[in-house]
Amino acid sequence: MSEDTLGGVDGLRDRTRRAVRADLAERAMVLFRERGFDETTVDDIARAAGMSKRSFFRYFATKEDAVLGLVDELGERVVEDIRARPADEPPWECLRQVLRQSEERIRTSADALRLIESTPALRAAHHGKRDQTRALIATALRDRPGSTLAPFAADLLATAAGAALDAAAREWLRTGGTADRAHLLDQAFAALRPKLA
Amino acid sequence: MSEDTLGGVDGLRDRTRRAVRADLAERAMVLFRERGFDETTVDDIARAAGMSKRSFFRYFATKEDAVLGLVDELGERVVEDIRARPADEPPWECLRQVLRQSEERIRTSADALRLIESTPALRAAHHGKRDQTRALIATALRDRPGSTLAPFAADLLATAAGAALDAAAREWLRTGGTADRAHLLDQAFAALRPKLA
DNA sequence: CCTCTGTGTGTCACTCGGTGTCGACTTCGG
DNA sequence: CCGAAGTCGACACCGAGTGACACACAGAGG
């Protein structure tokens, strides 16, 4: 188990695991689209992928994660991205840039977002992940060199940014997925720009 | 069952039902404080109140509702309050006033809020209820006489107001429940005031 | 070749949240 | 007094998620 006992430098184990995860997520999405989230059991998904229910839970902690798994991995990157921005950039502009990058990485199809938006259990799980990220973002903002942000201010900034992201996503859905996501996000950020005392 | 077939004008059935609900919620909170939310089963709560698990679910749709039941009833009032405000009041100021009223109605103790904030399942459920309310608020804003708000703008306003409320609540928790909730809310609202194009 | 070990898997049994159903009991109205 | 409606307990059931155990299949080393 000395890290390179197997195949490639990248770790063969990790790659196959990733592949199985992706396959599982894809098959799950097909079933969810066909029959709806609540009407699809974990056993259905597992059987469709040729494995047992137990094994499904070795790849995803919850049923919701089969949909949200990829989405919230982006959240972890956001924190790194913040640290990578120039230190003298105003916090709000920093958040806008970072979230634009994040949006571009998202290649989530409209109906995946629609599924999330229309399924209470998925919306709840999504919000949960987002909440964790928000807390991380707030501390990341305060940790920037030269930052004088109070906890309240940092929290408010991170929360407002999340609000902008949410409202933009919903507007995008309202347009049937035709509008420019980045433009909507800019509009929301421009409208909200906080005035910190 | 013509509304006054029973006892008082208020309906005896409703009153007893409300009383049982309140008792149940109170006993649930005690157990949650003692052992934590996840470590307390619905059966524990039901037995503590001298009833069966089945009957618990005749009073609360979910376990979470035993904690959140009262909190989110306030959400329904918010929509009515919006319609009661003067029609020429700017939307953001309208939201601020309405949410201040709502805050005053909340007499939730600090540790109840802390329980919600520290329990993922409760936070998720809380957000879920809030989401529903947010949608209602957005349409209520657009329905105000003389309103020219686009759906996107109304959504953004409602979402931003929710963000202000959240950030203020967390700051209040950070101060250990000593700060002035209304003042924190005003600060958050002042910082965010949206500039609609 | 054989064994040891790590990893992935299936199976089984279990807990717990939540629902459907049925039968007993009460309360109220006619 | 009879019937409608509401409440409740008991029981069976479903699905998400977990823990335990056994098994299979690598690769490593003797």
Q: Quick one: A95 and A44 in the same domain? A: no
| B21 and B102 fall within a common domain | no
Is the minimum CB–CB distance between A193 and chain B shorter than 8 Å? yes
Q: CA-to-CA distance for B185 and B191, rounded, in angstroms?
A: 10
B106/B150 same-domain check: yes
End-to-end CA distance of chain B: 53
Is A5 a domain residue? no
Please identify, among A26, A41, A59, the residue that sits at the C-terminal boundary of a domain: A59
Share of chain B above pLDDT 90, in %: 76
- Give me chain B's average pLDDT, please: 90
> How distant is the Cα of A116 from the closest Cα of chain B, in angstroms?
12
- In this structure, what token pair is assigned to residue A164? 């902008």
Q: How far apart are CA A178 and CA B105, in angstroms?
A: 42
User: Measured between CB atoms, does B139 come within 8 Å of chain A?
Assistant: no
Shared domain check, A96 and A18 = no
What's the total number of domains in chain A?
A: 2
The DSSP secondary structure of B49-101, one letter per residue, reads TTS-HHHHHHH-SSTTHHHHHHHHHHHHHHHHHHHHS-TTS-HHHHHHHHHHH
CATH number (domain holding residue A75): 1.10.357.10
Whether A34 and A91 map to the same domain: the answer is no
pLDDT bin (cut points 50, 70, 90) of residue B17 is: confident
Nucleotides of D under 7 A from a protein CB: 5-12, 15-20, 27-28
The model's pLDDT over B120-169, given as tens digits with 9 standing for 90+, comes to: 999 999 999 999 999 999 999 999 999 999 999 999 999 999 999 999 99
**Residue B87 CA distance to nucleotide C30 C1' (Å):** 52
What pLDDT is attached to residue B177?
Answer: 87
Q: Given CB atoms, is B64 within the 8 Å cutoff of chain A?
A: no
Is the same domain home to B89 and B166? yes
**Dist. CA A122–CA B64, nearest whole Å:** 17
Position A51 in a domain: yes
Question: Is residue A4 included in any domain, yes or no?
Answer: no
**Are residue B50 and residue B32 in the same domain, yes or no?**
yes
The packing angle between helices B120-143 and B65-84, to 10°, is 10
Q: For the domain that residue B37 is a member of, what is the CATH number?
A: 1.10.10.60
Token pair in block for residue B114: 């802390």
Instruction: Please choose, from the candidates B189, B154, B195, B194, the residue with its C-alpha nearest in 3D space to the C-alpha of residue B168.
Output: B189
A127 in B contact zone (CB under 8 Å): yes
Which pLDDT value is given to residue A103?
84
In-domain check, residue A166? yes
pLDDT at residue A5, as a whole number: 45
Residue A1 lies in a domain: no
Looking at the fold, whether A118 and A80 belong to one and the same domain comes out as: yes
Q: Would you state the pLDDT for residue B11?
A: 65
Query: How far apart (Å, rounded) are the C-alpha atoms in residues B170 and B165?
Result: 9
Residue A131 within a domain: yes
The answer to whether residue B150 is domain-embedded is yes
List pLDDT tens digits, range B81-106.
999 999 999 999 999 999 999 888 87
For residues B97 and B125, the answer to whether their CB atoms sit within 8 Å is no
Per-residue pLDDT at B107 exceeds 90:
no
Residues A70 and A46 in one domain: no
Q: For B30-47, what is the mean pLDDT?
A: 96
**pLDDT on residue B3:** 40
pLDDT of residue A105: 81
Q: What domain range is A120 assigned to?
A: 65-192
Q: Can you tell me the mean pLDDT for B8-36?
A: 85
Does B142 lie in the same domain as B83?
Answer: yes
**A45 and A76 co-located in one domain:** no
DSSP state of B195: -
- How many angstroms away from the CA of B80 is the closest CA of chain A? 23
Q: Are A127 and A64 in contact (CB under 8 A)?
A: no
A36 within domain boundaries: yes
> How confident is residue B34, by pLDDT bands cut at 50, 70 and 90?
very high
The model's confidence at residue B10, banded by pLDDT at 50, 70 and 90, is low
Between A72 and B42, the higher pLDDT residue = B42
Q: Which residue, among A96, A112, A116, A94, has the nearest Cα to A104 in the 3D structure? A: A96
The reported pLDDT for the residue numbered A6 is 43
Q: Are residues A109 and A160 in the same domain?
A: yes
First CA to last CA across chain A, in angstroms? 55
How many other C-beta atoms are found inside a 10 Å radius of the C-beta of residue A5? 8
Of B4 and A134, which is predicted with more confidence? A134
Q: Collect the ranges in chain A with pLDDT lower than 50.
A: 1-9
So what's the pLDDT on residue B6? 38
Cβ A160–B162 below 8 Å, yes or no?
no
Residue of A nearest to B117 (CA): A131
